[in-house]
Structure 1
Amino acid sequence: MMMVRSAYDKKKDDIHFEYWQRCRYLPEDKLIALLDHDNFKLSLEAAASLQLRGGSKIIRLAQMDSFSNRYKRRALAAFILGQIKLNTKEEKISLKILYDLALNDQSAIVRSYAVSSFGHRCFGHRCEKAKKKYADTLLSLAQSTVLDKSVMVRVSTAFALSVFKNRASIPLLIKLLKDTHSEVKNWAAFSVNVNNYDTPEIRNCFVLLLDEKNFEARFEAIIGLAKRQDKRVTQILIHELSQERIYDEMVEVTAYLGDVSLLPTLYQVKDKFGTFKELNTSIKVLEHLKSKL
């Protein structure tokens, strides 16, 4: 079953589409003017359009704006530098700018965008040697930003650690999994799952996340534990799959978990919703395992 969007999420999407429509055909000078608009979300959409168009003028503008006395312009500059196309010299300068903003800017929103953008630059680099170098630098940066007092910066740090696989990042992600804020834990769990990290402490952190009120964090923990064949998630999966609304991913991971006690629940899902690919596969796998007992 597909996840149902809330009215709030739909409204956000509608506003985003409205701003995108407003910006998509504007000339460059009009987009630059919007960077100073009172509505930051509109300014961000203008920045996204400028980022997509690229060019040396926009790159120089973003690099100069990173030293602006207006924090919104510094934040937008950090955003633009995250994914705009750069040559080698421009990238070297931009990475230094982002690193400095992430560590030293007084504004949390600027630090947050700088960390995310640094992660994007690591992920988007085609040269594997350079990607490793930047990933090592990002790991060094994260040693500080994982302790940032701002939730936004810690969320960005958790996201940034998802863009490359390096087991040296596991201790940092464990710190983030134990964060006081649910959104930080959600992104930390996502980073752990996307890179398939697995340690006893990670599993124990995931077990604690099963009690999170934040659904996304709880969802990541359920999926993560099931894929790691940790049977402590079995009863939670049975509960989730007995609801009126279920999620394909939760059905799918029952095959990874390999607990045949889930079969009756899967049969109930079949009776209620009919057959679909993930359900058929999981039933087949668990029935095969049961036949071997």
Structure 2
Amino acid sequence: MMMVRSAYDKKKDDIHFEYWQRCRYLPEDKLIALLDHDNFKLSLEAAASLQLMGGSKIIRLAQMDSFSNRYKRRALAAFILGQIKLNTKEEKISLKILYDLALNDQSAIVRSYAVSSFGHRCEKAKKKYADTLLSLAQSTVLDKSVMVRVSTAFALSVFKNKASIPLLIKLLKDTHSEVKNWAAFAVNVNDYDTPEIRNCFVLLLDEKNFEARFEAIIGLAKRQDKRVTQILIHELSQERIYDEMVEVTAYLGDVSLLPTLYQVKDKFGTFKELNTSIKVLEHLKSKL
């Protein structure tokens, strides 16, 4: 059983593949020309190809474009600088550019790409710039743009540092579900755990956004917080269930979930995650 993709998601994937096919064999000059295309998604795919291609010419172009009077070129420049291979001098210049764009650019999409790219550079440098990213996030966590706050949550997910926790708690309390989703992802991927984080996750159990709710369910179960037990029972009683939710019942360790897992077995048959969880919970029950 896998996450079911919506028709909308499938269409997006198909379009992305079409643009990738269109760009994959183009020479550098043709890709650079596409940066000015009216279709921004196609321009972004061209930028991704240039990013992979790398080289001093593309790096200099991206650095110069970060000062363009066209916001789309600035956004694409920020994107390219996020993961392109840089030497020490190029990286120092690029990080300053990204930091300035993230804080000061008038365009939300530029600020968003700059924050995400700063996170990517921090990840590539193995946390070398973590303190600088935390300083940046102190401001961008309060940005008026949802896109920028989402990017901030993503950037905080790329390295583990407990100093991120207060910022992520702010994002978990955001008014927008996608921000909360990414903040919950950042918390889970880094295994942060505080009473306030758990309480934020409990509030997310009522989210309409399934992905945010999913992160909260997984997070609470892995932290052995039994306030999620009834939610798990409900989710595992649906016609469509998810492997991860079956798997985390073993982490939660609540034997009251056994009857529900037996029902899952009757309905869907056996599979690895289910067998493991039943075995763990049966062992716990035998000790009671």
Q: TM-score, normalised by structure 1?
A: 0.96
Please state how far the C-alpha of 1:234 moved relative to its aligned partner.
0.1
Aligned pair in 2 of structure 1 residues 215, 16: CA closer, same or farther (>3 Å)? same
Please state how far the C-alpha of 1:265 moved relative to its aligned partner.
0.2
Please state how far the C-alpha of 1:4 moved relative to its aligned partner.
1.1
| 8 Å Cα contact 2:140-2:152 kept in structure 1 | yes
Please state how far the C-alpha of 1:124 moved relative to its aligned partner.
8.8
| 8 Å Cα contact 1:125-1:131 kept in structure 2 | no
| 8 Å Cα contact 1:254-1:262 kept in structure 2 | yes
Distance 2:281 2:157 in 1: 31
Distance 1:25 1:131 in 2: 32
Q: 1:234-282, CA deviations, whole angstroms, 9 ceiling, x for partnerless residues?
A: 0000000000000000000000000000000000000000000000000
- The 5-angstrom pairing of residues 33-112 of structure 1 reads 33-112=33-112
| 8 Å Cα contact 2:66-2:75 kept in structure 1 | yes
Q: Following superposition, which runs of at least 4 residues in structure 1 exceed 4 angstroms of deviation?
A: 123-130
Q: 1:107-130, CA deviations, whole angstroms, 9 ceiling, x for partnerless residues?
A: 00000000000xxxxx99899996
Distance 2:120 2:226 in 1: 39
Please state how far the C-alpha of 1:149 moved relative to its aligned partner.
0.1
Aligned pair in 2 of structure 1 residues 129, 18: CA closer, same or farther (>3 Å)? closer
Aligned pair in 2 of structure 1 residues 251, 128: CA closer, same or farther (>3 Å)? closer
Quick check: 1:149 aligned with 2:153?
Answer: no
Aligned pair in 2 of structure 1 residues 237, 127: CA closer, same or farther (>3 Å)? closer
Aligned pair in 2 of structure 1 residues 255, 110: CA closer, same or farther (>3 Å)? same
Q: TM-score, normalised by structure 2?
A: 0.98
Instruction: Describe the SS at the equivalent of 1:262.
Output: helix
Q: 1:51-101, CA deviations, whole angstroms, 9 ceiling, x for partnerless residues?
A: 000000000000000000000000000000000000000000000000000
Distance 2:140 2:130 in 1: 15
| Aligned Cα root-mean-square deviation (Å) | 1.6
Distance 1:126 1:25 in 2: 26
| 8 Å Cα contact 2:83-2:120 kept in structure 1 | no
Please state how far the C-alpha of 1:132 moved relative to its aligned partner.
3.6
Please state how far the C-alpha of 1:131 moved relative to its aligned partner.
3.7
Q: 1:144-203, CA deviations, whole angstroms, 9 ceiling, x for partnerless residues?
A: 000000000000000000001100110000000000000000000000000000000000
Distance 1:104 1:127 in 2: 20
Aligned pair in 2 of structure 1 residues 40, 127: CA closer, same or farther (>3 Å)? closer
Instruction: Describe the SS at the equivalent of 2:129.
Output: helix
| 8 Å Cα contact 2:123-2:159 kept in structure 1 | no
Distance 2:53 2:149 in 1: 30
| 8 Å Cα contact 1:189-1:220 kept in structure 2 | yes
| 8 Å Cα contact 1:227-1:253 kept in structure 2 | yes
- The 5-angstrom pairing of residues 137-286 of structure 1 reads 137-286=132-281
